[in-house]
Amino acid sequence: MKKLGSVCFVLVITFLLAGCSSKVTVKDLKAHDWQLDIKKNDESINYLATFSDEVMTLSFDTSDMKSESSNEWEKMGEDFGKQLLENMKFKVQYSLKGNSIHLKNKDLDLDNDYTIKKDNKNLVLTPEKKGEKLILKPYKKTKSSSKTTDTTTTTTKTSSSTSSNSSRSSSTENANQQSIDEQNASLEAFLSEQQASQEAEASREYAEAKASIDADNASWEVESRRREAEQQASVDAENARYAAEEEAERLRMQAEVDAQNASIDAENARQAE
């Protein structure tokens, strides 16, 4: 009986330890920066997630974005867009109770409960209602950084003071907002310059097209007048020839009449003798 009781005690302790080890805590959430892939409209959007005591901050991960620009202007536009995405952040309120976590953000249309559990180094969030699973993976920084996600735990822990984080978060948000405003102004200036350039190009093309049409009209008018002059000259020549022939015919007939009159006068004179 004692042996059986010992075995049962070991099994109970094993199950309890297994249950405790799988439970996710706020400390676990704050231990890493996390990579989160969300599918929307058949496209996968990469986010970076960081946790404080009550807020999950989501930002866009642009490290895998590939450039599709074909010229310098498009490259500038892509760079502006990338900088804007990098500075866009979403504050998601969360509450962790046992194996359940509630996420809420109006802009993201998010107000759901998830069951959260560990899967090796990953965290799996399964919606209690319909929806896609969310998988948080420890985020590995780019090659330019000498530390990976595993080494960020110490940094996160040393900066966990609530008051310090609040003031730093406020100043960071102000700096980010100022940066976004500056980038928006730069983007508007860039777009205005692009529009002015396009309008100037359209105006130039219109002027060239109008000049070409005016030249064609002038050429057509000159050609039309030349043809009219040729036709008029031909008509005048024909009229002159016809008038000359009529005059010659009149003179011939007059000569015949004069000849006949002279013959008659001669005959009358002969008879009178």
Secondary structure (H, E, C), 257-268: HHHHHHHHHHHH
Alpha carbon of residue 240 to chain centroid: 75
Do the domain assignments include residue 200?
yes
* 3-state DSSP assignment of residue 51: strand
Is 52 in the same domain as 123? yes
Q: Are both 117 and 38 inside the same structural domain?
A: yes
The answer on 189 and 134 residing in a single domain is: no
Q: Say if residue 134 is in the same domain as residue 188.
A: no
44 & 130 share domain: yes
Say yes or no to pLDDT of 141 above 70.
no
CB-based contact 16:7 (threshold 8 Å): no
Q: What is the pLDDT of residues 7-65, one digit of tens each?
A: 333 333 333 333 444 689 999 999 989 998 776 655 567 888 999 999 999 888 877 77
Q: Kindly state whether residues 31 and 87 are assigned to the same domain.
A: yes
Q: Are residues 66 and 133 in the same domain?
A: yes
Residue 13 lies in a domain: no
Of 79, 112, 138, the residue that ends a domain is 138
pTM for this prediction: 0.42
Q: Please say whether the beta carbons of 150 and 121 come within 8 A.
A: no
Q: Is residue 165 part of a domain?
A: no
Q: Are residues 114 and 206 in the same domain?
A: no
Domain carrying residue 201: 184-260
User: pLDDT tier at 253 (50, 70, 90 boundaries)?
Assistant: very high
92 in the same domain as 30: yes
| pLDDT > 90 fraction of the chain, expressed in percent and rounded | 36
Count of domains for the chain: 2
pLDDT surpasses 80 at 95: yes
Which CATH number belongs to the domain containing residue 129 in this structure?
A: 2.40.128
